[in-house]
Structure formats: C-alpha cells, structure tokens
C-alpha cells in the first residue's frame, strides 16, 4: 500500500499468516492511484491523493485519521456511491473482476446489493423486523434462500440464537452490532465495509464486537475495510491506512 501527501500507510501482516487467493484473481480489492476531491465554491478541495492498496480475501484494512481526513470517502468509493476523480478501483468476484469506475449507477446499485456487506456505528437494523428477519433480509433481496441455514448458523455462532425472535429495541448495543455482523455476512459478500463499528459501544463490548467482526469476516473469506478512531481495533487489522498525517 502506498500513497502520497496526506495518505500515508502503515502496513502490518500477521506473522506466518497466509491468505487464500480468490478463485478468479490473486486479490479481492485493488485500488491504484485513487484521487478524490470536492468542490467548495470555485475551489477543488482534495481529500484523497494517489491512494494505492491491495487486499486479499480474508484480509482486514483499518482506516484511521481525524474527521475529514477521507475515511468515509474511501468507504463510499468502495461501495460505489462515489466515483474517483482518477485512478482504478477493482473488486474480484466469482463472476469476474468489477471495475467500479466503469459502472453506471444501476450497475453500482446491483454491485452493492450483491457483493457488499455493511456494518454501521448505529447498527441500521430495521426496527420492525426481528433479529432473524434482519439477518435474512439480504438473502431475500438477492433471492438466495439457499444461504439461509448458513446465515442462521453464523447468527448462532455470534451468540444470538436465543434472541432471534426479538426486535432490535429489546437488544443491547453489543447484541445489535452482533446482529448487524450476521446480516452483513449473510449473502457471502466479497467485501464488508464497517464505519466506526465499535464507536457506539462501551470498551468491553467494543473489544468483543471487534474480535467477532474480524474473526467472522476472516472465516467467510471476505475482505474487510473498517474506519475507526480506536487504535486497539485498528491494531487487529492486517493493514493500517493512516489518513491525514
């Protein structure tokens, strides 16, 4: 991983760890020379400059840095809700490599629904659905009932089997986030995006949720990109990208 100016990276690999290559490619996510800025009146305010990194299936990238340093921009580029001003961003899927910059809006929406899972700081569970129904919602949207048993097994592995008929309002913060993790992985996405996933939790629950999120993403062989202000969470990642330094 490398960048220039405000996009400096520190990369750490777990010793002796060997990631399994994707069946279609030797990477899960590849960003090359990404740049993105925003118009502020007549001025273009650069946020990302020449950002480059590669993730393999099962790898975790932590984005750190102060507010406004570009963490959300990176997540939005990976989600396809933003398009880079320059550079290439590729996602390897079972159907082949997707170049996000070449997709129209409809195709990017389909990409998000099919290949991306989300974990948010404030959970974003549907309040009128039970835990079970929230987890199975991505399978309904993607017409993948064949993944139901696997999704519910993961929900049980996250310690939520006894709560699957409860509604989100009756859950603790940690339980809501565990439900969100199960939902994010239900449709077996190539890429999981997490925006401050422990930011709304106390320190004990934050440590537990971070461990569960990273462990289950690795087990699912997905790539994970998470934005965090918590250095303890960031240190669990394989790569750390420090923005705004």
Q: Which two tokens stand for residue 98?
A: 């997707």
pLDDT, tens digit (0-9, with 9 covering 90-100), for 97-113: 999 999 999 999 999 99
Q: What angle do CA 102, 191, 166 make, to 5 degrees?
A: 130
- pLDDT tens by residue, 216-228: 999 999 999 999 9
Question: Could you give the domains of the chain?
Answer: 56-82+102-243 (3.40.50.300)
Look up the pTM and report it. Answer: 0.87
Beta strands in the chain (DSSP E): 7-11, 29-40, 43-55, 60-64, 86-93, 96-99, 116-120, 191-195, 223-227, 239-243
């Amino acid at each position: 991983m490398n960048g220039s100016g405000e996009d400096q990276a520190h990369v750490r690999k777990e010793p002796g760890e060997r990631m399994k290559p994707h069946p279609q490619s030797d990477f899960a996510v590849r960003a090359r020379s990404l740049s993105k800025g925003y118009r502020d009146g007549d001025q273009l305010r650069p946020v990302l400059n020449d950002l480059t990194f590669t993730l393999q299936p099962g790898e975790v990238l932590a984005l750190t840095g102060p507010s406004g340093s570009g963490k959300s921009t990176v997540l939005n580029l990976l989600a396809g809700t933003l398009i880079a001003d320059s550079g290439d961003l590729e996602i390897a899927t079972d159907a082949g490599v997707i170049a996000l910059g070449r997709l129209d809006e409809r195709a990017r929406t389909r990409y998000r629904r099919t290949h991306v899972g989300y974990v948010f700081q404030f959970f974003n569970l549907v309040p009128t659905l039970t835990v079970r129904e929230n987890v199975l919602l991505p399978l309904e949207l993607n017409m993948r009932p064949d993944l139901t048993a696997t999704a519910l097994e993961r929900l049980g592995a996250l310690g939520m089997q006894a709560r699957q008929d409860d509604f989100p309002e009756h859950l603790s913060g940690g339980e809501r986030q565990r439900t969100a993790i199960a939902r994010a992985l239900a449709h077996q996405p190539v890429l999981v995006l997490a925006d401050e996933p422990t930011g709304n939790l106390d320190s004990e629950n934050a440590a537990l949720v971070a461990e569960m999120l990273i462990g289950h993403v690795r087990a699912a062989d997905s790539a994970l990109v998470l934005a965090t202000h918590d250095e303890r969470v960031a240190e669990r990642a394989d790569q750390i990208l420090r923005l705004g330094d």
